[in-house]
């Protein structure tokens, strides 16, 4: 089993596939579709059903409303179907198709990982994720300000490219922000293209 853990950590860049927090202190092997304590034994060790997540997100996803599945980020690019936005203290996830249940469940799950406050610990861990997301977005905003002031700065461009890599923490939020501001950052659009 240690080889499975190492491989998942590497494949998911030690980043929770749901909230996108990096360098997980409490990683879990999460099942995209639940095995329900042996009710679906074929799902328990199916490599395509094993995902790297934090304990916080895994705990929220165990709710039965997610049993029918969410977007499989290994097969479909969530950025193609969801718009990730941070508006002050509010996480807003919008779906491309309001009738698509996979999109709706995925958007709800991601939102809940930042907003679920039904216990003291969930309030704390949700708030921590929101703070980390805000901090990461502020790093991006500062770099974008720098590129406005000095468009030829190679160091700033390298930093921005790094922040926009899918492997970075909260990448979907940062990448969506740049896509939403195409008129301001046309030169960055090639770094935030959505996979087909």
For residue range 3-43, what is the model confidence (pLDDT) as tens digits?
889 999 999 999 999 999 999 988 999 999 998 887 888 99
* pTM of the entire predicted model: 0.94
Domain range annotation of the chain: 2-191
Average pLDDT over residues 56-83: 96
Task: Mark residue 23 as left, alpha or beta (left: phi above 0; alpha: psi -120 to 50; beta: remaining).
Answer: left
Q: 93-114: per-residue pLDDT in tens?
A: 999 999 999 999 999 999 999 9
Q: 125-167: per-residue pLDDT in tens?
A: 999 999 999 999 999 999 999 998 999 999 999 999 999 999 9
pLDDT recorded at residue 136: 97
Burial 115-131 (b: 16+ CB within 10 A, else e): bbeeeeebeebbeebbe
The answer to whether the beta carbons of residues 23 and 54 sit under 8 Å apart is no
């Amino acid at each position: 089993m240690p080889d499975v853990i190492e491989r998942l950590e590497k494949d998911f860049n030690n980043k929770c596939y749901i909230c996108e927090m990096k360098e997980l202190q409490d990683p879990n092997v999460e099942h995209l579709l639940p095995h329900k304590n042996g009710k679906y034994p074929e799902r328990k060790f199916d490599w395509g059903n094993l995902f790297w997540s934090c304990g916080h997100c895994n705990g929220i996803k165990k709710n039965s409303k997610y049993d029918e599945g969410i977007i499989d980020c290994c097969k479909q690019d969530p950025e193609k179907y969801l718009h990730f936005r941070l508006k002050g203290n509010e996480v807003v996830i919008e779906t491309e198709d309001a009738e698509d249940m996979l999109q709706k469940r995925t958007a709800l799950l991601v939102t809940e990982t930042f907003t679920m406050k039904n216990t003291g610990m969930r309030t704390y861990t949700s708030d921590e994720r929101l703070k980390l997301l805000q901090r990461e977005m502020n790093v991006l905003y500062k770099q974008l300000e720098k590129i406005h002031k000095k468009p030829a700065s190679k160091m700033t461009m390298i930093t921005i490219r790094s922040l926009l890599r899918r492997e970075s923490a909260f990448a979907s939020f940062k990448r969506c922000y740049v896509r939403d501001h195409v008129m301001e950052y046309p030169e960055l659009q090639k770094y935030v293209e959505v996979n087909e």
